[in-house]
Structures are given as C-alpha cells and as structure tokens.
C-alpha cells in the first residue's frame, strides 16, 4: 500500500540548508494501523506532508497504492490527495453553518454523483465513524469535541480512500474524549481500513498495531505493538 525508499528532504533558506529527513525507508501494508511518533523537530511533520502528497521529497521514492507519488506533477498530486487519501487534522476544519451531513458531503461537491447518493455515502461514513444518527442534522457548535472529530473522520471516509492519514487528531481533545476518538479509529481498522496516525503522544501511539519512532530525521525504531488490542486502552 505504502512504500518509502530512502526519502530525503532538504529545506533551503538562502545559503542555509536544513535536512529534515535523512534517508527514511519503510513499508505499510494494506489494512495496517500504524502510528508515527516523534518530538518536535524530529521530521515526522515533514514525513506526514510527503505521505499526504502535500510535498515531495528532495530525493528518494514514495509509492502509494502502486503509484510513484514522488514523481507526480502538482495537478497529479492534487488528484492523488482527492482520490487516494482521507485527511483527519487536529483542527477540525468544519463549516460551522452547515449541518453534519453537509460537512461530510463536501468532498463530493464538485463531482457528478447525484445528491441522493452523496447523502447515502455521508450517512454510511458517519455510521462507520460511530456518530449517533440523532446528530446528523446538527451544526458543529451543537457537538462535543469528540463528536466533531468523528464528523471529520467521516468526511475523510467519503471517497473510500486508499489510506486515512490522521495528523495529531486528538491534539485539541481532553483525555477521555481522545480515548473515544482513538477507539473510533480502531473500529475503522477492524473494518479493514489502512490508517497512518501522526502523533507526539506515546499513549495515543499505543492505539496502533505498529509504532514507527522518528528522531532527527531518521527512523529510530519500527516495532510491532505487542500491547495492541481493540479497546484495550479505553480505561
């Protein structure tokens, strides 16, 4: 599903060069739930931008679902983001004056999919993200933080993406709500979705079945989480 080969990313500011990634290589198979963890300045955010087709490496190769993303043009990268990647961000990015259903349907706005099918897809995505049906016509200011993040997860699912890329999805949530949201990700994993979670919190990383630790632009550890069990960290 994902293959990174010797990824290097160098940022230039005048004569100053900063190397954020120093030859990063790994694979993620279809259906895996992987967390990428590291402190500020570790290179995890740069890696997230490359995995999300928001940036390209200075050198190295990145393949997603059989496509060599590292060689795509800007237009091709945009299409890749739209069709292959479902994003869940720390900032929820919902429209406050639109209902939950309409927020989830937004990625389908400029498609030729009939409105009836758009709504059916949105309802299914919301159910898969574990949001109660009674909230579908609420506005975001009528929801809790955990409910809002589950709406954002549903929006990421609407196009049936190859991967779900979650960037610090619990960063704005309290501990209890964070557990609820992470259990929603675990439920998606049980249903076969490929999930890549970016976090700086060890406790959140533990919700994944595999943990990749990044520090100083290199992979420090890449290990199977032997404590992984659905719902095991809810208490």
pLDDT at 230: 58
Q: Are 137 and 102 in contact (CB under 8 A)?
A: no
Q: Which pLDDT score is estimated for 234?
A: 40
Q: What's the pLDDT score for residue 66?
A: 86
* Homologous superfamily in CATH for domain 26-45+83-224: P-loop containing nucleotide triphosphate hydrolases (3.40.50.300)
**Which stretches of the chain score pLDDT less than 50?**
231-235
* Structural domain spans, the chain: 26-45+83-224
Instruction: Please give the pLDDT value at position 8.
Output: 96
pLDDT at residue number 92: 66
- For residue 229, the model assigns a pLDDT of 66
């Amino acid at each position: 599903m994902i293959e990174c080969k010797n990824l290097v990313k160098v940022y230039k500011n005048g004569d100053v060069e900063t190397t954020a990634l120093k030859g990063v290589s790994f694979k993620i198979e279809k259906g895996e739930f992987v967390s990428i963890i590291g402190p500020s300045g570790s290179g995890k955010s740069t890696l997230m931008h490359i995995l999300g087709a928001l940036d390209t490496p200075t050198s190295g190769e990145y393949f997603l679902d059989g496509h060599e993303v590292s060689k795509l043009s800007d237009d091709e990268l945009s299409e890749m983001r739209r069709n292959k990647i479902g994003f869940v961000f720390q900032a929820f990015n919902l429209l406050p004056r639109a209902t939950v259903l309409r927020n989830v349907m937004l990625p389908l706005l400029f498609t030729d999919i009939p409105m009836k099918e758009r709504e059916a897809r949105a309802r299914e995505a919301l159910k898969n993200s574990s949001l109660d049906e009674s909230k579908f016509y609420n506005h975001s200011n009528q929801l809790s933080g955990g409910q809002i993040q589950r709406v954002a997860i549903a929006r990421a699912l609407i196009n049936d993406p190859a991967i779900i890329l979650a960037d610090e999805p619990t960063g704005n949530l309290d501990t209890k709500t964070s557990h609820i949201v992470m259990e929603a990700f675990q439920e998606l994993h049980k249903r076969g979705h490929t999930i890549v979670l970016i976090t700086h919190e060890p406790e959140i990383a533990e919700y994944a079945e595999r943990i990749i630790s990044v520090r100083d632009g290199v992979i420090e550890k890449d290990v199977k989480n032997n404590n992984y069990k659905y719902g095991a960290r809810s208490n």
